[in-house]
Structure 1
Amino acid sequence: MNKITLVTLVALGISLSSRAQCKTVTELNENFDSWKDIDKCWNAESGKSMLYSSEGKITFYSMMNSGERMILSTPKMKAGTYKLTLDISKKSGDASLELFSIGNTSDLKSYVSISKPSAISGTKKAYTINLKNDAHLGFKVLLNGIHQAVYIDNLVLKPAK
C-alpha cells in the first residue's frame, strides 16, 4: 500500500510541477511549426469536433458537428493592452471568430467576450485587446457546416505602444 501511495504522490507532484511551469506572459509570438500536439500551456476545447495542431498551424475542424463550441486559449497573459495579429483562413462555408478573456479555463463563468463574432473572410486579422486582469485569451471559432475547417497560424500578441 505504501508503494501505491508513493507512486500516486509522485504522479501528482509531476502533474502539478508541469502546470507550474506555465507562467503568466506579456507577449506571444507563435507560428506553431514545432508543435506536434497542443502545447501544455495552452488549452483546447473542441466538444465533439476536433481542435488540433498539424502541418505548422492550428486546425478547428467541425467533422459532423456544426455549431460545436471550439476554443483555443493562450497561456495566461498579464493585464494590459495588446496588439494581436494572426493568419486565419477557412475551408468552405461560413465561419466566425470571437475573442474571450478567460480567468480560469475550467470555469465557464470566467469566459467574458471581448469582441463580437466576426466573419472569417480573408487571411489576416488584427485586433487591439484590453485585458483588465491577468487572463487567458480565448479564440472561439464557430463553424456552421459539416466538414468545415478554420486554420490559425502566425499568432503575435504584443503590448500596444
Structure 2
Amino acid sequence: VFRKKMSSSRKHHLKSLMLQIAKGLLEEEERDREVQRTRYMAENCPPLSFNFPAPEELCREIHRKVDTIDEERYDLEMKVSKSNKEIDDLKIKVQDLMGKFKKPVLKKVRMSADAMLKALLGSKHTVNLDLRANLKQVKKEVKEEDKELRDVGDWRKNIEDKAGMDGRKKMFEAEA
C-alpha cells in the first residue's frame, strides 16, 4: 500500500481544525457544568434572607452575651479556687488530728530470723531456728542375729581368699 505524504500546510490546517473543535467541546462542557452547579445550589441551598437588625446592633448584642458568659466563667473559677482552698485546709486539719508527726520512711534492715523473733517476742523467749538441732537422732541398732549371719555366711568377707588368690592381689597392689 502506497501512502502519499501530506504537505506541511495541510497538516497545519488539520491540526488547527482539530484544536478548534476541541476548544468548542471544552467550552460546551464548562457551560454544562455551570448549569448543573446553579441547579444544584438552587435545590440544596435556599437563598439567604437578611432579616437581621442593623449589623451594629447585632454586634452589640453579641458583645453583651459574651460579657455575661465571661462573668459566669469568672464566678465559677472563683468558686472552684475557694473550694480547693477549703479542701487543702481540711486536709491539714485531718493531718493535725491524726498525729502531729509524719511517719518516717522505713529503711530495710537485714536481720536474722532469730533476731527478728527476739525482737517480736521479747528477750524472755529464746527461740532457736536451728532445725538440725531439733531433729531426733536415731542410732542404728544392729541385731544380734544379723551379726551371727554376717560372721558365718558373709560372702563378701575375705573375697580375695575365697577366690583362690591367697592374698596375691594385695601383694600386687602393694608393689604397684
Range of TM-score over shorter length: under 0.3
Task: Specify the structure having the higher radius of gyration (Cα).
Answer: 2
More helix by share: 2
More strand by share: 1
Which one scores higher on RCO, CA 8 angstroms, separation ≥ 6?
1
Given the two structures, how large is their TM-score scaled by the length of structure 2? 0.18
